[in-house]
Chains A and B, each alone.
Chain A
Amino acid sequence: MSVTTALAPRHFAGLPFSSWAFGIRVWIAVVVALYAGFWLELESPLSAAITVGILAVPTRGQALEKAGFRFLGTVIGVVASIVLIGSLSQARDLFLLVFAAWVGLCVYVACLSDGFRAYGAVLSGYTMALVAIQMIDTPGRVFDFGMQRGAAIALGIAAIAVVNDLLVAPDRHLGLATQLAALHRQVRDHAKTVIRGEATDAAATANLLRETTALRSEITSLAAESSSGPTRRAAARSTAVALVAELHAARVLKALPADMDLAIRARMSTALEEGGDERSLPDNATAALTWAFRELLRCDQDVREGLAALRSGVPPARMWRTPFYVSHRLAAEAGVRAALWLALASTFFVLAGWSAAEASLVQLTAFIGLGVITPNPRAFTVGALIAAPIAAILAGVLDFVILDGATEFPLLALALAPFMIGAAVLTTLPNQVFAGIGRLNLIFILVIAGLSNPQTYNPQMFLEASLFVCLAPALLLAAQLLIPPISDERRRQQLMASARREFDQLSSGPAQRYAPEEAMFRDAARIGKLTGAGVPGPQNLVILEDALTLFDQAALIRMCDASLRRLMGGPVATLADQARRALGRRDVQSIRQAASDIRQAAPEDERTRATSDALEVASLIMEEKRP
């Protein structure tokens, strides 16, 4: 017998040590980036420090992945800026129009991606604001400015990468394995509830799908973590896909008629818990029930193997991709809205006629970009509106109370400590409002404090910077009230319409692009978006039920279709073709007949029998509920 003891994480001032360690790493990296920037006499050493603030994520792999996309986004943005300045610097109105269109395009691309890829896309958009808008009066310097910005960003990336490496920032795969294992427990509990014959909640199921698919972007960042990163990423992907497949198998089991006593149900639960096989079912169990339970056990085994591969860093037995659902229509709508917000704000600045307004336009463009990659852009703007004055006050305290004219670098480094560590620690809090304020303050404090060599301590510049940083979210909020972001209702409608459209088109074309399990993950990602769009209510519950019904049936049709395709070259090819046509028509009676014919044609063949059972299950599920 072995006893394992889980050590609780140690705390200081109510926060785990890991949060404080993260704060200290960020502070050191900011100081290193600033020092190197001053030493190299960069034109904008502050950009290097801001880069560190932006790349402040608790784990190494995520920081490196974000750094890669930040650099790439900057290069694309600078090139686009040079093209824009070179072609339209003499036509200001057209210049602003093309600028707004570029930001809209970048937002569209961002909405077609997730994680740091989306961040890289919006960064390309607001880099044009940083470079082209700031250089609008001195177009000859745009290339030089772009190079300087690239150098500062590269320096910031190097600073955070070296500090993370030397101070042993944690790897994400350990936390990810724990999260996936916790989700596995929940999925298994759900399956055991189904086996016991108890009622299950559609919202809870959808939530499990959302939590599993939401890990996709974090799984992607494992590749940058270490040389074993790509292997662990493959293992984590397979685990996530198998988790979704296990949840689907549990839902199929739930939908099948089962008349079993408590002892058999208990045996089935034990088989699931201990990795048993379908022999725990009674001899008189239907073929459909046996198939569904075998699927559940197979998926559970896949999850366990995937988790073991993730922990040990060995390649998983199955290599599954994690496709991501994208809606081109929703992305285009978000892009158009972003361009309109920017056009409205630009018009306001042009009419106001402020000479230094470009600084605020730059901030506003960044808020637009960063807001649209969050689930609720308006809430992000409100968060920025709260965080900006706080940052202005803190930057004022740093500049005029703590430093107050000091010019020595060690004093600056020490003075930055409470602000950087405090803001970084805030980002690790579970409360999303505080975490968001911390994240924005980490950047705003540096922007408003305007650190340079030598530091000017000019109150007028400080007030201007504070005003423009606070004005940007206020103006954006006004624009978002005039032209609201995509509503939850509209998002739900689009997602459901696309789910229905894809369901209708299933099984009518050539070979599917994804394996059935991969396509299941993609559908689950769409349900995750549906769950994220709006507060759960009775109407939403009906929509979720519909979405889950489509998910169940689409997955079964794909599984049957894949099995039938494998039979196409064999002796039951004609029957398999008939079955595929019946599946395409969603004709339950014909599917059942085809299942029976295939079974009778080759009763001894394991593959044929499994296909016939799958068809039988599909017919029962499609008969039970029509989407």
Chain B
Amino acid sequence: MTHSFSELVVGDVLLAPFVAYAVAALVVFLIHRPILRLLDFAKLFSHPSIAELSVYVTILGVLTVFF
């Protein structure tokens, strides 16, 4: 069962709920970036860019499911 998604309204313009989740996930990801740096996250992977994209997608998925 999925929960309902409320639409974001900016000046009478309806935005898809996904936009709000995508922006929120980006904010959460950027806040956590210094922590990733302290943990030397980039050195754990051969392709850090894909690893960081995966972290973003994970955060986005978690936000979409639970909020």
Residues on A facing B (Cβ under 8 Å): 60, 143-144, 147, 162, 164-166, 168-169, 171, 226-228, 230-231, 313
B53 touches A227 (CB 8 A): no
Q: A residues within 8 A CB of B11?
A: 143, 147
A165 touches B43 (CB 8 A): no
Q: B residues within 8 A CB of A313?
A: 40, 42-43
Measured in the bound complex, the distance between the Cα atoms of B57 and A165 in whole Å is 12
Q: Closest CB of chain A to B28's CB: distance in Å?
A: 14
Interface of chain B, main secondary structure: helix
Total contacts A-B at CB 8 Å: 43
Q: Could you say which of A60, A162, A226, A231 has the most chain B C-beta atoms within 10 Å of its C-beta?
A: A226
A227 touches B33 (CB 8 A): yes
A168 touches B49 (CB 8 A): yes
Select one of B13, B42, B47 contacting A227, CB under 8 A.
B42
Q: A residues within 8 A CB of B52?
A: 165, 226-227
Interface of chain A, main secondary structure: helix
1/0 per residue B1-45: CB within 8 Å of A?
000000000110100000000000000000001101100111100
B13 touches A144 (CB 8 A): yes
Say whether B48 faces chain A, with CB atoms less than 8 Å apart.
yes
Measured in the bound complex, the distance between the Cα atoms of B47 and A165 in whole Å is 9
Say whether B50 faces chain A, with CB atoms less than 8 Å apart.
yes
Q: Could you say which of A147, A171, A227, A313 has the most chain B C-beta atoms within 10 Å of its C-beta?
A: A227
Measured in the bound complex, the distance between the Cα atoms of B45 and A228 in whole Å is 12
Q: Closest CB of chain A to B52's CB: distance in Å?
A: 6
B10 touches A147 (CB 8 A): yes
A227 touches B36 (CB 8 A): yes
Q: Give 11 CB contacts A-B under 8 Å.
A: A60-B49, A143-B13, A144-B13, A147-B13, A162-B53, A164-B49, A165-B52, A166-B50, A227-B41, A228-B41, A228-B48
B49 touches A226 (CB 8 A): yes
Residues on B facing A (Cβ under 8 Å): 10-11, 13, 33-34, 36-37, 40-43, 47-50, 52-53
A166 touches B53 (CB 8 A): yes
Q: Closest CB of chain B to A494's CB: distance in Å?
A: 40
Select one of B10, B43, B47, B50 contacting A228, CB under 8 A.
B43
Measured in the bound complex, the distance between the Cα atoms of B52 and A171 in whole Å is 14
A165 touches B49 (CB 8 A): yes
Measured in the bound complex, the distance between the Cα atoms of B49 and A22 in whole Å is 16
Q: Could you say which of B37, B43, B48 has the most chain A C-beta atoms within 10 Å of its C-beta?
A: B48
Q: A residues within 8 A CB of B36?
A: 227
Closest A residue by C-beta to B50: A165
Known contacts A162-B53, A168-B49, A168-B50; A228 and B40 CB within 8 A of each other: yes
Q: Closest CB of chain B to A226's CB: distance in Å?
A: 5
B48 touches A227 (CB 8 A): yes
Q: Closest CB of chain B to A571's CB: distance in Å?
A: 43
Q: Closest CB of chain A to B24's CB: distance in Å?
A: 14
Measured in the bound complex, the distance between the Cα atoms of B60 and A162 in whole Å is 14
Closest B residue by C-beta to A164: B49
Q: B residues within 8 A CB of A226?
A: 42, 48-49, 52
Q: A residues within 8 A CB of B33?
A: 227
